[in-house]
């Protein structure tokens, strides 16, 4: 299983308050046709905090079913409750996910020792490849590279999604965890710099709306065409910025609605983006060549 390249952090489409399964399945199939290299259902971008357990599990099942083994599926199964994370991870294993993505526990604010104990407990409970998701901006805790190195000694902990924004971090992580430890950026705007510092790919929000361009960027980099990758990255930069002008995934849901891929519907406490953000997203979609006019 190769976890590299453009891995989409999938949105969860809604219609009339429920998960829009048809729109979700069509999105996944579109991504496969556009060249996306992997899928993350029900991460933060998938509005996992407001899905019921039944919905959460159903979205994972549906993603695995539609992908049909054509690409890796990394199921979002993290929680700030260790028992809940174990339960969701057990389901992902039964469903046939290739790996799971486990976010650092938000709100509880555990110490480094607490973080280690949390991830080790999940590791010891379920036999499936695990990627740790370090996102201090949402979880208020930063998993220190030294703690990650301890976790990397556990056989099923195979990588990290790094959303710290610290571009030196992949160099430090490779030094402590080894070159084979999978490093995926969680910051679209840092993708190319992250790859240059030894990263393997990106779990991307922007890939939701620009799957082909995101895939082509990684493929250009992998074949040694740094100039080509940079040209695509520059084309995507306004979109990377616009999609985070308000809390994600509100802007990306608006962008997908503009492309006719799903409704803009979000679950409270998230609300549709304001007029200024709509203008920024529209301009960025045009700049990337994804919207006429």
Catalytic residue, candidates 116, 161, 253, 254: 161
Structural contact between residues 92 and 115, judged by C-beta atoms closer than 8 angstroms: no
Q: Do 163 and 137 contact (CB within 8 A), yes or no?
A: yes
Told to judge if 161 belongs to the known catalytic residues of this protein, a careful annotator would answer: yes
- Respond yes or no: is residue 107 known to be catalytic: no
Assigned token pair, 115: 């973080």
- Which one is catalytic: 133, 253, 261, 274? 133
Buried b (16+ CB within 10 A) or exposed e, 65-92: ebbeeebbbbbbbbbbebeebbbbbbbb
3-class DSSP string for 132-160 = EEECHHHHCCCCCHHHHHHHHCCCCEEEE
- For residue 195, CA distances in Å to 2, 51, 95, 210 come to 16, 33, 31, 19
Residue 128 tokens, joined: 């499936």
Residues catalogued as catalytic = 133, 161
């Amino acid at each position: 299983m190769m976890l590299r390249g453009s891995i989409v952090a999938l949105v969860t489409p809604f219609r009339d308050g429920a998960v829009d399964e048809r729109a979700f399945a069509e999105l996944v199939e579109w991504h496969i046709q556009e060249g996306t290299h992997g899928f993350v259902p029900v991460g933060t971008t998938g509005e996992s905090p407001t899905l019921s357990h039944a919905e959460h599990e159903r979205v994972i099942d549906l993603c695995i079913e539609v992908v049909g083994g054509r690409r890796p599926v990394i199921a979002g199964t993290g929680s700030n409750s260790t028992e809940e994370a174990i339960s969701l991870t057990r389901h992902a294993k039964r469903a046939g996910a290739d790996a799971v993505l486990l976010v650092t526990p938000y709100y509880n604010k555990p110490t480094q020792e607490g973080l280690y104990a949390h991830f080790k407990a999940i590791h010891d409970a379920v036999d499936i490849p695990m990627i740790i998701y370090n996102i201090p901006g949402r979880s208020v805790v930063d998993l220190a590279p030294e703690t990650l190195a301890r976790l990397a000694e556990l056989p099923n902990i195979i990588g990290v999604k790094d959303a710290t924004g610290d571009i030196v971090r992949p160099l430090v992580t490779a030094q402590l965890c080894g070159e084979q430890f999978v490093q995926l950026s969680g910051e679209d705007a840092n993708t190319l710099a992250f790859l240059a510092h030894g990263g393997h790919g990106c779990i991307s929000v922007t890939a939701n709306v620009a799957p082909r361009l995101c895939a082509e960027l990684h493929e250009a980099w992998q074949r040694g065409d740094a100039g080509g990758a940079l040209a695509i990255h520059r084309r995507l930069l306004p979109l990377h910025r616009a999609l985070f002008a308000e809390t994600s995934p509100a802007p990306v849901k608006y962008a997908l609605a503009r492309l006719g891929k799903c409704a803009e519907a979000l679950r409270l406490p998230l609300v549709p983006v304001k007029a200024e953000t709509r203008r920024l997203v529209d301009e960025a979609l045009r700049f990337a060549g994804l919207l006429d006019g």
